[in-house]
Amino acid sequence: MSDPSQPDLRDNGASALKARVLAELPVASVLMPRVCPSKRIIYEMHIKGFTALNSAIPAELRGTYAGLAHSSAIDYLTTLGITSVSLMPVAHRMDEKRLLTLGLSNYWGYNPIAWSAPEARYASHVAQPNGQKYGDVRVEFRSTVDALHAAGIEVLLDVVYNHSGETDEWGPTLSLRGIDNATYYHLDPRDLSKYVNWTGCGNCLNVANPLVLRMVMDSLRQWVTEFGVDGFRFDLAPVMARTGINQGGQFNPLAPLLMAISQDPVLRQCTMIAEPWDIGMGGYCLGQFPSHWLEWNDRFRDTQRAFWLKHEASRGELATRLSGSTDFFDSRVRAPHSSVNFVTAHDGFTLTDLVSYCERRNWENGEENRDGHGHNLSVNFGVEGESSNEFISEFRMRSKRLLLANIVLSLGTPMLLGGDEMGHSQLGNNNAYCQDNAITWLNWGAVDEAFLQYTKQLISLRKQLTALSSGFWWKAAAHGSDTVARWFNPNGSAISPCDWHDSSARAFMLTVEGGSLCMLLFNGDDQPTEFTLPVGTWVRRLDTFTGNFALETCVRTAILNPSSLCVFEAINSLDVNISQS
């Protein structure tokens, strides 16, 4: 079609999307797990990428919903210690014409055309031992959710209600555009033939309209009531909370969708997570969603990368991120778990690539390496990409251990990118949205067993040191059930407000008391640093420099290696005098 203003007279009846009314699935026999919000540990995964190369899963189930439901997959997740899987989009999608021309597909799934229908490409269609066939895609997805629930794992679903696969005015007319274009989409008031594009995907759904709001609410309720989903991660969430374009198109924390979810008897019980930014004017909204929402915290990501990978960040910035980012999340109305702390996610470098590449390598995407983030705050330690140099490999591994420890041990909700714990690399591709192949599929035949074991022990340590997963904000002094946090220079003196922004100071100490008494020592210097410990007897629980969890007793001093974090626990908190060092 050369002119989008003219109708296309070709008959597309044979290929047009069809629909049918289906009976509701029976009520789930498995109860949804109830995960304590402060104990939640999220694992972001792609269903196909997680299972496609796993030889422990029967070949006919790899890359499918049923593959994720297989005992080996679930055992892996439970042994790892995560509580919640965040599934990348499973709603029925379409592939853009440009990708199809290149022999690619929209692997990530952020291009929906049927918001309430599970993607048929992940169905196995294999008969199960109980005689039931997974020919019904809905049954297979629901069975997978039930299997995860039976293991105590909650299921969070990445949903895309900000745009549709109809894209811009040059895109295909599949449904909403033909039903009522002006109702379902934000149109440019200067030219109603064009779309507002706060998403970067060509169009924006007008969720401020009651009909569109009803469509989204019905879809969300269906995922919960029919499929058993426990919560949602909303892609480009500000788009759905903007006023109509004629009212300025501004983000509104009291937007109809946000308020509807808050009062809905089904949805208000669910976990709601926002990706709190879009590309429109005023689209960066971290900390502005309703009090019960969680939000992806990119400030945590960037500060961790900048501080530990030798870019520019002060220890004051790092301490703010470690303690829940109260500069964005108002502690008077938000809980500490509001901040979803991550260093890597599906969009960007993997953890291995973050310490192996300074530049993106996205040539396979067919956009001449122009797509993906150009500012990654990454490091390669002298060699771009894979290296057989054992010194470079050791530097990279230390950085990975350090960054992962900061995610898991900080106040908030830790989120791991699936595959990081096993050393997965995308060969420098930081925007692998269209790579449905070995670039994105986890290589179960090349798992870094030592790093996997480190990750398991790290998550276990968080669970043991209850002060680090507190449901209460860290305070400077005890008030009721508050967790008390105190900050010190390496010599044991209290850090003053002006000390935090001393760019030459790269080391500090944190004690956290609340259920347990633990101490975290941070050394961002390039040289070993000696720390004077508070009076008492301490046991070293973790040294990220060596990856060692072996217990070691320290009394008055501890020397930290460069770019490392150590965790200590008091043998007897009553014998510790925090005020003396």
What's the CA gap between 108 and 285, in Å, rounded?
24
- R_g of the chain, CA atoms, integer Å: 25
> How would you classify the pairing of strands 191-195 and 187-188?
antiparallel
Q: CA end-to-end span of the chain, whole Å? A: 75
Kindly report the number of other CB atoms within 10 A of residue 542's CB atom: 25
What's the CA gap between 47 and 108, in Å, rounded?
10
Rounded to 5 degrees, what are φ and ψ at 412?
135, -165
* Residue 519 DSSP one-character state: E
What's the CA gap between 516 and 536, in Å, rounded?
14
**Residue tagged active-site, from 154, 275, 513, 543:** 275
413 three-state secondary structure: strand
530 three-state secondary structure: strand
22 three-state secondary structure: coil
DSSP letter string, 53-64: T-TTS-GGGTTS
Residue 449 is a catalytic residue:
no
Give, in order, the Cα–Cα distances in Å from 81 to each of 35, 153, 350, 463: 13, 10, 20, 9
What's the CA gap between 235 and 159, in Å, rounded?
6
**Residue tagged active-site, from 235, 278, 436, 513:** 235
Task: Find out whether 339 and 413 touch, Cβ atoms under 8 Å.
Answer: yes
What's the CA gap between 229 and 357, in Å, rounded?
37
Residue 235 is a catalytic residue:
yes
| 3-state helix/strand/coil string of 197-215 | CCCCCCCCECCCCHHHHHH
101 three-state secondary structure: helix
DSSP letter string, 440-485: TS--GGG--HHHHHHHHHHHHHHHH-GGGG-SS-EESS--TTPEEE
538 three-state secondary structure: strand
Task: Find out whether 490 and 504 touch, Cβ atoms under 8 Å.
Answer: no
What's the CA gap between 360 and 432, in Å, rounded?
11
Task: Find out whether 311 and 375 touch, Cβ atoms under 8 Å.
Answer: no
Number of helices (H), then strands (E), belonging to the chain: the values are 13, 21
* Residue 239 DSSP one-character state: G
Give, in order, the Cα–Cα distances in Å from 172 to each of 85, 94, 400, 535: 33, 10, 44, 70
Task: Find out whether 167 and 244 touch, Cβ atoms under 8 Å.
Answer: no
What's the CA gap between 5 and 122, in Å, rounded?
36
Tokens read off for 382: 């002298």
CA nearest 485: which of 461, 465, 459? 465
509 three-state secondary structure: strand
Task: Find out whether 344 and 353 touch, Cβ atoms under 8 Å.
Answer: no
Residues acting as catalytic residues = 235, 275
